Amino acid sequence: MKKTLWISLGVVLLLVSVFVWYKYFFVFGEGVKSGYLNYAMKKGYVFKTYEGKLIQEGFGKGKTGTITSYEFEFSVEDSEIFKQLETNSGKTFDLHYKEYNGSLPWRGNTKFVVDKVVNMK
């Protein structure tokens, strides 16, 4: 009876570990987004994270009869990358990002995490 309980507990812990890894640490996608940096800021109540928004050229889908731009909201883990973004707000950036299936409070508010500035104009 005890052996079955320990095996069941081990299987449950393994399944929970795989789920947490897939949800928060598995890189679902990565790529490059280009656009004008609208803002870069540090915010948060407990975990201070770096957040930003890139405005891309073109038009997005909004309500019928309205025109909206594409917006890419992202988080930044590296303080050096954040400083580069913060001091050059309003310029055009090509940002390399990783997309996760979920966000962690200490990693940022979004599923998209910028890990490199590819180009700045």
Give 59-117 pLDDT, tens digit per residue. Answer: 656 566 566 668 999 999 999 999 999 999 889 999 999 999 999 999 999 999 999 99
Going by pLDDT thresholds of 50, 70 and 90, the confidence category of residue 1 is confident
Per-residue model confidence (pLDDT) at position 100: 97
Distance between CA 59 and CA 86 in Å, rounded? 25
- Contact (Cβ atoms closer than 8 angstroms) between residue 99 and residue 27: yes
List CB contacts of 54: < 8 A, sequence separation 6 or more.
33, 34, 35, 36, 37, 38, 71, 72, 73, 74, 93, 95
Tell me what the pLDDT averaged over the chain comes to.
91
Show the beta-strand stretches assigned E in 3-110: 27-43, 49-60, 68-76, 92-100
